[in-house]
Structure 1
Amino acid sequence: MAYTPVTALLRGLKVLEAVNRIGPATLTEVREATGLPKASALRALETLCHGGYVAQDGESRRYLVAARSLALSNNYRADAALLAAGRPVMQRLREASGWPSDLAIYQAGKMAIADTNRQPGTFSVNRTVGSRVSVMRTAIGRAYLAFSTEAQRAAILEDLVAGGDADEREAGDAARVAALVERTRERGYAVSDREFVPTIRAAAVPVMHHGRVLCAFNLIALAQAVPLATFEDTYIPMLKEARARIEAALSEAGDG
């Protein structure tokens, strides 16, 4: 090797990897996972927090990966276990409801579609894996945002404001964001009723694992074909049930 590795950088990456693997983690858990001295682990965590790659939850004081970490690679892909758990459930939901769904993760200021069961040419908006949609104007983005931790949400909102995208302008309105988060968490789901696409009525729920949001997934329908009351009374309960099945599958996979 023609150069000396930067030990501090390697140490920081090791800590970031541990936080990502553990989920919301205490300093002790990070220290044990990395084998670093307490002072070194704390210094690395504080540096990563300063850079926006890790955040510390204001309530639990645990550390978690912040939104900027997901922007490290444009080739970021959803975890295989998540897709394996979600795909069959989404397909059954489509068969039962007659309407398609998308599964999306947050990535660098947008929700990135990680999986979808839309059929090309059969819907007014045909998204594919890798398509990127608004956080603030879509149900899938609102669900992810609302059920993120306080620290995650702050990092996402910072990204959205800095990006200057017109579709995300509400991210800078603290009162509107607070109302959206409160309403969504009370309901247990988010809605976007002909707001992002004038013909589309959508609802979305978060998928949670070990207390953190992994992704969100939606159910969409043509507004002219499905009255709002039918959508709320029939399809949203189906969406919630599907979410529970995905979370159960993830837990089972993790315990296996």
Structure 2
Amino acid sequence: MPSFKPVIALTRGLEILRVLNEQQQTSVGALHKATGLDKATIVRMLETLEHEGYVMRDAERALYAPTGRVLVLSQGYDQHLWIGSVADPFLQDFRKQIGWPSDVALFDRDAMIVVQTTREPGSMLLSRKPGFRFPLLATSLGRAYLAFLPEEQREAVIGQLAKNPEHWNDLARNRKKLNRLLSDTRSRGFAFTDDAYSREVFNDAMWAIGAPIMQGEQVFASINIMMLRRAVAVEDGIKQFAEPLRQTAARIAKALVTMKGGKA
């Protein structure tokens, strides 16, 4: 447990920087909508970040954008690079085997973050590069990761998500429904993307299944398959790809353990 209460100003500043980094270029109004923070507070945070060199301001259009200095904040973190590099050859082989793109993602506090992908630029409606963040409870990658965590870790994550007002986290506040969904996921061995998320983000043109990349009780990451509804019906996709997905996840997990010297 922390020795002191969180520094609220720092928490707010980091939230502003996180959202700004996700949106790449945005306004005070958009940041207010995304964070719920008072606009005056947002302006103070932005001006502080600008002073420190992490943010630049387009005065003519009243827009803010992150600078290259934000990269300095991630230099000490390389787990995503390691897992992405280990997973890449397996993902490439998997793409050749099934003909559909896949992502590998890691858990990042309250969301999942893509660390490797076989999506091609401009394909599948949109291209999501490594570093893209998306809601944990709405996606097959997030649900597959959460469902297979050891109970204590899973409860801690759900508790954190329940405090987040984003509408994709409403499920964390409906424990009966969430527990049933996670139990079904464990029974199947894979997860589905939420239908509402598919409608909102992909105009209901795509669907996905995801599986955990795990060894024993340790869940390293998760892997998915993205498919067009008009090309692959859900029932057919499960019959064709669920088992190859689990097999690929197992191969990646085995390689991760081997790379760590056999320590899971």
Query: TM-score when scaled to structure 2?
Result: 0.66
Q: CA deviation at 1:235?
A: 1.1
Q: Give percent identity, aligned residues only.
A: 28
Which deviates further from its counterpart, 138-147 or 153-162?
153-162
Q: CA deviation at 1:200?
A: 1.3
Other-structure match for 2:100: 99
Name the CA distance, whole Å, in 2 between partners of 1:193 and 1:156.
19
Other-structure match for 1:204: 210
**Per-residue displacement from partner, 1:159-191 (whole Å, max 9, x unpaired)?**
211111011111111101110111011111111
Long gaps (5+) in structure 1: 1-46, 52-70
Q: Within 5 A, what are the aligned runs for 1:37-52? A: 47=1
Name the CA distance, whole Å, in 2 between partners of 1:150 and 1:160.
15
8 Å Cα contact 2:158-2:172 kept in structure 1: yes
Q: CA deviation at 1:254?
A: 2.8
Long gaps (5+) in structure 2: 6-17, 19-71, 199-203
Change (3 A) 1:225 1:153: same
Letter of the 2:119 partner, please give it.
Answer: R
Name the CA distance, whole Å, in 2 between partners of 1:49 and 1:188.
40
RMSD of Structure 2 on Structure 1 (CA): 2.5
Other-structure match for 1:168: 169
Name the CA distance, whole Å, in 2 between partners of 1:118 and 1:190.
20
Matched, 1:232 2:238: yes
Q: CA deviation at 1:122?
A: 1.1
What secondary structure does 1:163 align onto?
coil
Other-structure match for 2:116: 115
8 Å Cα contact 1:146-1:153 kept in structure 2: yes
Change (3 A) 1:251 1:221: same
Q: CA deviation at 1:82?
A: 2.2
The higher-RCO structure (CA 8 Å, 6+ apart) is 1
Other-structure match for 1:31: none
Name the CA distance, whole Å, in 1 between partners of 2:158 and 2:187.
20
What secondary structure does 1:196 align onto?
helix
Change (3 A) 1:49 1:98: farther
8 Å Cα contact 1:193-1:200 kept in structure 2: no
Letter of the 1:251 partner, please give it.
Answer: V
Q: CA deviation at 1:74?
A: 6.7
Q: CA deviation at 1:50?
A: 11
Other-structure match for 2:141: 140
Query: TM-score when scaled to structure 1?
Result: 0.68
Q: CA deviation at 1:77?
A: 4.3
Change (3 A) 1:193 1:181: closer
What secondary structure does 2:250 align onto?
helix
Which deviates further from its counterpart, 78-87 or 151-160?
78-87
What secondary structure does 1:129 align onto?
coil
Other-structure match for 1:125: 126
**Per-residue displacement from partner, 1:19-47 (whole Å, max 9, x unpaired)?**
xxxxxxxxxxxxxxxxxxxxxxxxxxxx4
Name the CA distance, whole Å, in 1 between partners of 2:165 and 2:91.
33
8 Å Cα contact 2:213-2:249 kept in structure 1: yes
8 Å Cα contact 1:81-1:253 kept in structure 2: no
Change (3 A) 1:226 1:74: farther
Q: CA deviation at 1:144?
A: 0.6
Other-structure match for 2:254: 248
Matched, 1:219 2:222: no
Q: CA deviation at 1:195?
A: 3.8
8 Å Cα contact 1:194-1:200 kept in structure 2: no
8 Å Cα contact 1:209-1:250 kept in structure 2: no
